[in-house]
Amino acid sequence: FLKATAALALCFTANSAIAACEDGEIVVKFAHVTNTDRHPKGIAASLLQERVNDEMNGTMCMEVYPNSTLYNDDQVLEAMLQGDVQLAAPSLSKFETFTKVFRIFDLPFMFKNIDAVDAFQASDTGEAMKDSMTRRGLQGLEFWHNGMKQFSANKPLIEPTDAAGLKFRVQPSDVLVAQMEALDASPQPMAFSEVYGALQQGVVDGQENTWSNIYGQKFFEVQDGTTETNHGVLDYLVVTSVDWLDSLDPEVRDQFLTILQEVTAERNAAVGQVDMEARQAILDTGAVIRELTPEQRQAWVDAMKPVWEQFEGDVGADNIAAAQEINA
């Protein structure tokens, strides 16, 4: 008994968010890379865990592993296909080796805000994207929102030419690589957990991310300031393996998917507030946020938008037109 208590205590010290699963329960490991507090994904994952463990107690048990404690995003999908993890919510930039349909979300200035992203995802085209990887063994379940991306660097970024010659960390996406090249900057794909150290040590000069990620990872501590460009979106796909989903009894699957749907609706509706609170929290530390005049922002649009043409073949001119219609 003592041994078991000690083991349990250790387990709780390592990650207090992990529930103790009982024998006979279906264990759902959910690995993600962000923090849990003041973060759209962290909050949604915690709520999902709480509801599953409460409402499906005895049947299903969810263990959330945040902060890249179990896998990085570049390992998690392979681990899922091996059956080592059942749920993940990587950003839409991280599915490139499985599908190119999500490239539309990485194109700079494609969506004017998260409401437009939401409307596009809810369309038939967006819904169909969830099934784009089933042949490869992955099933998309729900889109989770984060927010619009901002640029930061170790010097002020006001004009797009300010980014020229700088090294920027990007997520592993060809569109994001092309976007930085359009600014004559040097894109460096890198895992999320390595960005703070890379900025601090000058391995890269800058990065792009949302307010909640900039706040959660404290990037502002090691940057000159953040420029409010809102130049792109960072959103997530909650994903599982086709095999695991098929292995569930229909009633269990339905209950799980219903809870996931309800958590998605609740947290997606609240995302704007989480985003703005993270922005305010950055300001409260005394860190600099630079706003652009309409003319300054237009210069960034002019510099980056030509990237659309490079990817029109992958993304589809009809999808681009549909996204633009939603923006209008």
Interface positions with ligand LMR (CB under 6 A) = 33-34, 41, 91, 146, 171, 192, 209, 213, 234
Minimum CB separation of residue 91 from ligand LMR in Å reads 3
Measured from the CB atom, is 126 or 216 closer to ligand LMR?
216
DSSP H or E run through 217: none
What DSSP string describes 8-28?
HHHHHHH-TT---PPTTSEEE
Measured from the CB atom, is 63 or 106 closer to ligand LMR?
106
Minimum CB separation of residue 39 from ligand LMR in Å reads 8
**Are the C-beta atoms of 304 and 298 separated by less than 8 Å?**
no
Minimum CB separation of residue 26 from ligand LMR in Å reads 25
Measured from the CB atom, is 120 or 219 closer to ligand LMR?
219
Measured from the CB atom, is 236 or 244 closer to ligand LMR?
236
Centre a 10 Å sphere on the Cβ of residue 237 and count the other Cβ atoms it contains. 25
Minimum CB separation of residue 287 from ligand LMR in Å reads 18
Distance CA 238, CA 138 (A): 10
Minimum CB separation of residue 175 from ligand LMR in Å reads 14
Q: Name residue, tokens 């000069």.
A: 205
Nearest C-alpha neighbor of 42 from the set 15, 8, 76, 66:
66
Measured from the CB atom, is 139 or 209 closer to ligand LMR?
209
- Which residues touch 145 (CB under 8 Å, ≥6 apart)? 40, 114, 117, 118, 235, 236, 267, 268, 271
The token pair at 103 is: 């490239």
Measured from the CB atom, is 79 or 234 closer to ligand LMR?
234
Residue 180: what residue type? Answer: M
Distance CA 248, CA 268 (A): 26
Minimum CB separation of residue 34 from ligand LMR in Å reads 5
